[in-house]
């Protein structure tokens, strides 16, 4: 009897082990990334604040006081982000930011980088859902291999008329960092339009193909 139960017991333990991994691996990786970003931000902020803080303490108390405890960097970062958001909501603040952006747009190379990162960030944060108009499949980087792409424009003036009037601009994002990638001008007949949302496609790209559209929809329902 014990010999018959042994394989079942081992199978049950194996299933429990795999189930535990499926729970702990994504949780552990997420916590590790958050912890690493927290440490990086906290260390950078603390290094910047140490000297000014010491000078302030010397001026007020005439002695050195240890910089506030671990975690002050994250608090300062959150406050800076909130303060920036508050400024951006204000009319004067918007004008200042517009002036700063105008200066960036006048700088060669910098303007391209800033504009591209800004557009992709807005698309990922879903503040501007019209940047990526559709999700497509195209043969890239060579025939027989397919990549997920995002249509950014259906009229590429000055370019498409030189190759094929009916062409679209497609952004192919890299994995796992979707803020970098390649812009391809592709004849419309060479792209396959997919019945997939931009958000699901972005999750698919970021996860390296691990999170499929069906899984992305399940995750979205869970998050809601």
What is d(CA 120, CA 131) in angstroms, rounded to the nearest whole number? 8
Helix or strand or coil: residue 217?
helix
State residue 171's pLDDT score.
92
Q: Structure tokens of 69?
A: 């405890």
pLDDT along the chain (224 residues), means of 10: 62 78 72 76 76 77 67 72 81 82 80 72 58 90 92 77 82 81 90 89 83 58 47
pLDDT value for 1: 45
147 pairs with which residues across the strands? 138
pLDDT at residue number 125: 61
Query: How many other CB atoms sit within 10 Å of the CB of residue 203?
Result: 20
Position 95 scores a pLDDT of 85
Show the domains of the chain with their CATH numbers: 134-223 (2.30.30)
Q: Could you tell me if 156 and 168 are in contact, meaning their C-beta atoms sit under 8 angstroms apart?
A: yes
pTM above 0.95, yes or no: no
């Amino acid at each position: 009897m014990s010999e018959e139960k042994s394989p079942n017991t081992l199978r049950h333990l194996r299933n429990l082990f795999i189930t535990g991994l499926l729970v702990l691996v994504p949780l552990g990786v997420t916590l590790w990334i958050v912890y690493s970003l927290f440490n990086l931000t906290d260390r950078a902020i603390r290094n910047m604040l140490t000297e000014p803080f010491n000078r302030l303490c010397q001026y007020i108390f005439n002695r050195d006081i240890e910089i506030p405890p671990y975690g002050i960097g994250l608090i300062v970062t959150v406050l800076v982000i909130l303060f920036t958001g508050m400024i951006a909501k204000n009319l004067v603040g918007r004008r200042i930011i517009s002036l700063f952006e105008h200066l960036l747009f006048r700088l060669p190379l910098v303007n391209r980088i800033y504009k591209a990162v800004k557009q992709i960030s807005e698309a990922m944060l879903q503040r501007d859902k019209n940047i990526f108009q559709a999700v497509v499949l195209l043969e890239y980087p060579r025939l027989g291999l397919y990549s997920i792409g995002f249509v950014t424009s259906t009229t590429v003036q000055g370019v498409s008329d030189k190759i094929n009037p009916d062409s679209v601009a497609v952004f192919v994002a890299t994995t796992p960092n979707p803020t970098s990638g390649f812009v391809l001008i592709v004849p419309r007949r060479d792209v396959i339009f997919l019945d997939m949302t931009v958000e699901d496609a972005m999750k698919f790209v970021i996860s390296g193909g691990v999170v499929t559209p069906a899984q992305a929809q399940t995750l979205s329902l869970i998050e809601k």
